[in-house]
Amino acid sequence: MTVLRVALAQLNPTVGDLDGNLKLLMDAYDEADAAGCDLIAFPELSITGYPPEDLVLKPGFVDDNLEALAAFAAHTRECAAVVGFVDRDRDLYNAAAMCVGGEVVGTYRKRMLPNYAVFDEQRYFTPGTDGNDPLELFEIGGVKVGMTVCEDIWSPNGPLATQAAGGAELSVNINGSPYHWEKDTGRERMVATRAQDAHTPIVYVNQVGGQDELVFDGGSFVVDGEGHVIARAPQFVDELMVVDVVIPPVYRGRLLDPRGKATDRPLPLVHVSSTSRATGDTIVPPLAEPLDPHRELYDALVLGTRDYLRKNGFTDVVIGLSGGIDSTLVACVATDALGPDHVHGVSMPSRYSSDHSKSDAELLAENLGIDYRTISIEPAFQAYLDMLAPSFEGREPGLTYENLQSRCRGQLLMALSNEMGWMVLTTGNKSELAVGYFTIYGDSVGGYAVIKDVLKLEVYELCRYVNRAAGRDVIPPNVITKPPSAELRPDQRDDQSLPPYEVLDPILELYVERDHTAEEIIEMGHDVDIVRRVARLVDIAEYKRRQSPPGVRVSPKAFGKDRRMPITHGYRA
């Protein structure tokens, strides 16, 4: 049996930073080459960063990406490298290059282009076909290696099956697979099935890091030809994982396959090397343990927030600390993302703010070790009331007065942002965004919405997780136990304006994330009046959500580039 030493470069590229990405690739390559690796695999479109979106419509960007690929290829020595880039002829292609010995010795063009959820690759790329990209294998260390890109591996009848039937003994699949909660187990099950079908070990490498609304969790792994995971990198961290992959003869498994022997002819073979470089003790890295579900979700929020700020040149953030559950969680995430010295909390009390909310915010700031200040909105709020009094004469105070307070707070936070260079983090959760329970140009103003894709009940669970992980009450218990309130009028509670979150969140999950109609949700047993009211609130709040900042996507369907509903429409069902 042959052993091939393979490196999985789980890296965090920045979209469009070709020079920075090239340095990442070269540094990882040098480390793998020094470790005696036969092969290193980088993530999908690692030259450009993923997803490059409309940058690829700029011919100069595509040219520069090809120059970066040529520079990387020239840097290669004995260790072969699979690297993602944008290829072109008459069309553009999401492609992988095999680089070794200072040159590109072969390319592969992605054949299955996803066009659902957050993906719109058919907007930019043409799929590879036998006509424009005949499949071939690469002999590396005496092993016949095939390469595919991301979505290609999800189809049981995709190019992996053709490569296996054509003689592949190892498959390398490079990915830019965005995270959503508990997605990693589904990936591993699917890849294990493909490996069993092909009787071929599979190297699955994924990128890590945040890109606008998306966060990539890494979690790269290797499965053997029987579908067993033999190596797994941790989630949410950069990692160069080196593993010796045993390549057993595949004929026995294929001969015993009840589906019959493959009748395809062998694929063309590009010779790279005949002998493996693996020497000494066999390298088998420890299997990274799957994360606790709430740690996984929390870490995704931290990484997405850190990268959005870092990659956009921000070092500090400012948060309106109300003493409520949402701003509390955002402050915790920001502190873990940036460090306490870079987080600034502002209490902005009004005549309706409770004493416990002010004290809870202060205690949280003390526990986190962040900067904390108090700026009352009363002078600004009263000034607005005085200015508007002639126009509002004879009208009863109502929602407008509540929204004025929120907008006073938004102005203060933006003033601090403008003066200090701090990015404002908004604190609205998915439940509130869904039903429009936020003030446009008020508590929705800011640069990044950390928990915009986290339903309210999960906000509570994450706060409990923070205290469990710390082994102490970082978050004051009163924040978790008190009834949620915007505190914009006397004795206000959320459940005076909305159904209890225990009722609301399951309906929102069905209506927003699973695309059920109101009628279908009612048929499942949910209250008729509540469902119709919630569906209407979601529909009429679309115009408000469009004006909200981006935030971390952690669910299978998030508001933003994922869920794309028309603002103006007349469908009600």
Q: Which amino acid is at 502?
A: E
Helix (H) or strand (E) holding 23: helix 18-34
- pLDDT at residue 7 above 80? yes
Tokens encoding 135: 């499949």
Task: Report pLDDT for 249.
Answer: 79
Tell me which of 37, 79, 99, 150 is the catalytic residue: 150
Banded pLDDT at 333 (limits 50, 70, 90): very high
CATH superfamily of 2-271: Carbon-nitrogen hydrolase (3.60.110.10)
Instruction: Please work out, in degrees rounded to the nearest 5, the angle formed at the alpha carbon of residue 310 by the alpha carbons of 307 and 314.
Output: 135
Given a contact cutoff of 8 angstroms between Cβ atoms, the answer to whether 420 and 318 are in contact is yes
Arithmetic mean of pLDDT, 23-39: 97
Tell me which of 110, 144, 311, 452 is the catalytic residue: 110
Task: Report pLDDT for 487.
Answer: 63
Whether 144 is a known active-site residue: answer no
Banded pLDDT at 78 (limits 50, 70, 90): very high
Measured between alpha carbons, how far is 31 from 448 in angstroms, rounded to an integer?
Answer: 36
Task: Report pLDDT for 263.
Answer: 53
Arithmetic mean of pLDDT, 546-559: 94
Task: Report pLDDT for 484.
Answer: 76
Place of tokens 């700031």: 365
Banded pLDDT at 253 (limits 50, 70, 90): low
The rounded mean pLDDT for the chain is 92
Phi, psi of 421, rounded to the nearest 5 degrees: 80, 25
Cα distances (angstroms) measured from residue 153 to each of 188, 217, 221, 500:
12, 18, 14, 43
Arithmetic mean of pLDDT, 356-380: 93
Given a contact cutoff of 8 angstroms between Cβ atoms, the answer to whether 105 and 88 are in contact is no
Arithmetic mean of pLDDT, 52-79: 97
Residues 385-414 have pLDDT tens digits of: 999 999 999 898 888 988 999 999 999 999
- pLDDT at residue 20 above 80? yes
Measured between alpha carbons, how far is 440 from 544 in angstroms, rounded to an integer?
Answer: 6
Whether 23 is a known active-site residue: answer no
Tell me which of 44, 188, 239, 509 is the catalytic residue: 44
- pLDDT at residue 536 above 90? yes
Whether 44 is a known active-site residue: answer yes
Q: Which fold has domain 293-490?
A: Rossmann fold (3.40.50)
Name beta bridge partners: 124.
Answer: none
Share of the chain above pLDDT 90, in %: 80
Given a contact cutoff of 8 angstroms between Cβ atoms, the answer to whether 174 and 96 are in contact is yes
DSSP letters spanning 92-159: EEEEEEEEETTEEEEEEE------STT--GGGT-PPP-TTTS---EEEETTEEEEEEEGGGGGSTTSH
Share of the chain above pLDDT 70, in %: 96
Banded pLDDT at 254 (limits 50, 70, 90): low
Task: Report pLDDT for 570.
Answer: 85
- pLDDT at residue 310 above 90? yes
Domain ranges of the chain: 2-271, 293-490
Task: Report pLDDT for 280.
Answer: 83
- Give which of 209, 145, 135, 196 is closest to 172, Cα–Cα: 145
Measured between alpha carbons, how far is 467 from 321 in angstroms, rounded to an integer?
Answer: 18
- Give which of 222, 225, 209, 238 is closest to 287, Cα–Cα: 222
Given a contact cutoff of 8 angstroms between Cβ atoms, the answer to whether 410 and 442 are in contact is yes
Between 352 and 100, the more confident residue is: 100
- pLDDT at residue 471 above 60? yes
Question: What stretches of 148-292 show up as alpha helix (H) in DSSP?
Answer: 159-165, 184-198, 251-255
Residues 153-189 have pLDDT tens digits of: 998 889 999 999 999 999 999 999 999 886 667 889 9
Q: Which amino acid is at 464?
A: R
Residues 319-328 have pLDDT tens digits of: 999 999 999 9
The set of residues, in sequence order, having a beta carbon less than 8 Å from that of 217 and lying 6+ positions away, is: 179, 183, 184, 206, 208, 235, 236, 296, 300, 303
Task: Report pLDDT for 255.
Answer: 62
